[in-house]
Amino acid sequence: MSKKVNEQSKHDQLEQYRVEDEGKTMTTNQGVKVSEDEFSLKAGERGPTLMEDFHFREKMTHFDHERIPERIVHARGFAAHGEFELYESMERYTKAKFLQDTSVKTPVFVRFSTVAGSRGSAETVRDARGFATKFYTEEGNYDLVGNNIPVFFIQDAIKFPDLVHALKPEPHNEMPQAASAHDTFWDFIANNQESAHMVMWAMSDRAIPRSLRMMEGFGVHTFRFVNAEGKAHFVKFHWKPVLGTHSLVWDEAQKINGKDPDFHRRDLWESIENGDYPEYEFGVQLLPEEDEFKFDFDILDPTKLWPEEDVPVKIIGKLTLNRNVDNVFAETEQAAFHPGHVVPGIDFSNDPLLQGRLFSYTDTQLIRLGGPNFHELPINRPVCPFHNNQRDGYGRHTINRGPVSYHKNSLASNTPRPASEAEGGYVHYQEKVEGRKVRTRSDSFKDHFSQATLFWNSMTKPEKDHIKQAFSFELGKVKSKDVRQQVVDMFANVSMELAEAVAVAINATKPSGSGSSVTKSSPALSQENTVKKPATRKVGVIISNDFQGKEVASVLKSLKAEGILPELISAKLGKVKGSGGVELEVDHTFLTCDSVLFDALYVVGGKNVDNKFDRETTYFVEEAYDHFKPIGATHDGKQWLEKLEISGAPGVVLGDEADQFVTGFVDAVSAHRHWNREEI
């Protein structure tokens, strides 16, 4: 009896994996319907097979692996589930169904990551961040695999191994971890000058985001939207954080790496658990095909962006992250993203970096996830059914019925069969391609500096100062004087002001010449022009016994009403007691937290604090002040600000009347940083 029960339970357990292929329409493993299974995609009827033929590569690779690690890049990642809602139909531009109906909410899975470090590295290092989104659509999975920087270091994917080898810890001593401040990276930059624009972003505040909730995302490459009539538009993708784009300062970022190496993932996890769901608006830049050559840069060059003032970003939807993962390994680590996972209505351009990624990602998942069946892992399975003749291999979950596993056939009435375009079969955009098979690059890709200068011109003075400091720090760690000089000379092509300042800092020879003649700027590139809100900002409240009970409780209540998150810091855990019988629970001690872990400080203090409390409070306030953070104080707390002679400084708010203090302090917190302190 027991055996029968066990056999029945196993049968039920496996039932969800049993698939009947007979009579079904053929799809890829991502659930996208296949329109042709006889001929590979070629450059002309007699031309070579193209690398972007994702159906051919998936089919052949799966066959190659039918007989049955940590990521090399983007190893340190964290993810969450959510949903995407559309503001307006994109039917005019694309036939992708999830971009048609505003009443449909599409489930998504988003993984954020650093690029350079290993899985165990810290999170607030200076680095680009991955921003990969998997849309589980009714037509199959669509992966938008991007970064928080809209451009990249190289123009052709064949150089990607070289870039990563140069960026990673140097092989002779495996140092430094998760850092670009070393000889091989900067030697690569100096000798591969197409990287100039990306390096400007990497040396800016964009490379040390305050939070994963407060950084932009970009598709990086130029893609195509194709509508039902077959008309195409070039498109670039954007994620705009609703909370605005904000960053850490470098000293703060380094200290956080020691105080809390999980800072970014903790922030994301806690925000979702608290119901403060991260939100990003989805935007597209659209170009008619006939406008491809109207700019002074090549729109297919991945080291170039499309200035938003020239090609506006059209906001078409919103992504909301509302559920944390249940298991980091099963979901976050086993998630397999691929820019080649597209749905009808979204197609590729001839960006040579994108073309290489279309091959590389499948190859990577095969080794990392142990074989060709990574699409069957729960986190990667499409929500629509998939049917094809792929069989066996490591990690196979599907239990295929019947003897037929090939096309064409008569035993199963020639099924699964390819779908017509009218049935939703994926049909590649019929771009005319002619030319010799060559290993070269278009002359239109040879301008490496004009957009790097555009970025520099778009920065405010504090942002420029931070870029100078970043170059000076990074190159100050480079041992080769020759490499240091090469980099200084290289960036004289971007800005003579920048190059001369860095030369002085690292004892290099000032470059000759007149620098760049580019005067154009793009205000959209400066974080000074971002959204500024107080919501979800963490405020450390330094408090001791005998505080002004009623007044402080009123301030804390008002801050919470603004969406600010106050957390109480004192000498020990437990309750602190104020006047009027008010008692508050302490969240942290001076030992278990640090000023760098908060966006602002509110100093309450109390009567008769001891010397240790005084020293710790002084340290917290001084560090927050040096990091340009808002600082507020009421009643007994004012003494520390007055002692440090900062009570009249920008972003420092004092007051005993609760309503007036809250108004001023909330405004100060909304500003995020108060850079004008440098002028005092």
Mean pLDDT of the chain: 93
pLDDT at site 68: 46
Strand partners, 144: 133
More confident residue, 106 or 608: 106
Contacts 24+ apart (CB under 8 A), 614-619: 614/640, 616/571, 616/590, 617/542, 618/643, 618/644, 619/595
pLDDT at site 441: 85
Say which range, 42-46, 54-58, 190-194, has the weakest mean pLDDT.
42-46
* DSSP at 600: E
Residue 1 has pLDDT above 50, yes or no: no
Residue 42 has pLDDT above 60, yes or no: yes
Nearest alpha carbon to residue 653 among 617, 629, 627: 629
Contacts of residue 432, defined as CB under 8 A and 6 or more positions apart, other chains included, come to none
pLDDT single digits (tens) 415-444: 999 999 999 999 999 998 888 888 888 999
Which amino acid makes up residue 321? L
pLDDT single digits (tens) 283-319: 999 999 999 999 999 999 999 999 999 999 999 999 9
pLDDT single digits (tens) 587-633: 999 999 999 999 999 999 999 899 999 999 999 999 999 999 999 99
pLDDT single digits (tens) 175-190: 999 999 999 999 999 9
pLDDT at site 435: 86
pLDDT at site 2: 42
Residue 658 has pLDDT above 90, yes or no: no
Q: What is the mean pLDDT of residues 348-357?
A: 93
Find the catalytic residue in 55, 62, 65, 74: 74
| Dihedral angle sign, alpha carbons of residues 451, 457, 459, 463 | positive
Residue 232 has pLDDT above 80, yes or no: yes
Residue 96: pLDDT band (50, 70, 90) is very high
pLDDT at site 391: 93
pLDDT at site 67: 59
pLDDT single digits (tens) 541-569: 999 999 999 999 999 999 999 999 999 99
Q: Is 24 exposed, middle or buried (0-12, 13-18, 19+ CB in 10 A)?
A: middle
pLDDT at site 57: 85
d(CA 608, CA 622): 21
| Domains along the sequence of the chain with CATH | 77-185+210-370 (2.40.180.10), 447-528 (1.20.1370.20), 532-679 (3.40.50.880)
Angle at 229 between CA 226 and CA 233, to 5 degrees: 30
Given a contact cutoff of 8 angstroms between Cβ atoms, the answer to whether 307 and 524 are in contact is: yes
Q: Is 510 exposed, middle or buried (0-12, 13-18, 19+ CB in 10 A)?
A: middle
For residue 113, give Cα distances in angstroms to 123, 176, 264, 270, 569.
8, 19, 10, 17, 30
| Total-model pTM | 0.91
DSSP 3-state assignment of 516? coil
Find the catalytic residue in 29, 141, 147, 388: 147
Angle at 671 between CA 640 and CA 285, to 5 degrees: 155
Reply yes or no on whether 264 is catalytic. Answer: no
Angle at 39 between CA 37 and CA 43, to 5 degrees: 135
Say which range, 8-12, 320-324, 385-389, 426-430, has the weakest mean pLDDT.
8-12
> In whole angstroms, how large is the CA radius of gyration of the chain?
28
Q: What is the mean pLDDT of residues 52-63?
A: 82
Run of H or E residues at 487: helix 481-491
Q: What number of other Cβ atoms are within 10 A of residue 143's Cβ?
A: 21
DSSP 187-202: HHHHH-GGGHHHHHHH
Residue 3: pLDDT band (50, 70, 90) is very low
Residue 647 has pLDDT above 60, yes or no: yes
Residue 9 has pLDDT above 70, yes or no: no
Query: What is the arrangement of strands in the sheet containing 538-543, beginning at the earlier edge strand?
Result: 588-589, 565-570, 538-543, 600-605, 631-633, 652-654
pLDDT single digits (tens) 113-147: 999 999 999 999 999 999 999 999 999 999 999 99
Say which range, 63-77, 88-102, 322-336, has the weakest mean pLDDT.
63-77
Residue 656 has pLDDT above 60, yes or no: yes
For residue 435, give Cα distances in angstroms to 48, 407, 439, 475.
11, 33, 12, 43
Residue 679 has pLDDT above 90, yes or no: no
Reply yes or no on whether 65 is catalytic. Answer: no
pLDDT at site 5: 43
The residue behind tokens 């503001």 is 87
pLDDT at site 280: 98
Residue 6 has pLDDT above 90, yes or no: no
For residue 272, give Cα distances in angstroms to 24, 421, 449, 536.
40, 40, 41, 11
pLDDT at site 46: 64
Q: What is the mean pLDDT of residues 372-399?
A: 92
Residue 64: pLDDT band (50, 70, 90) is low
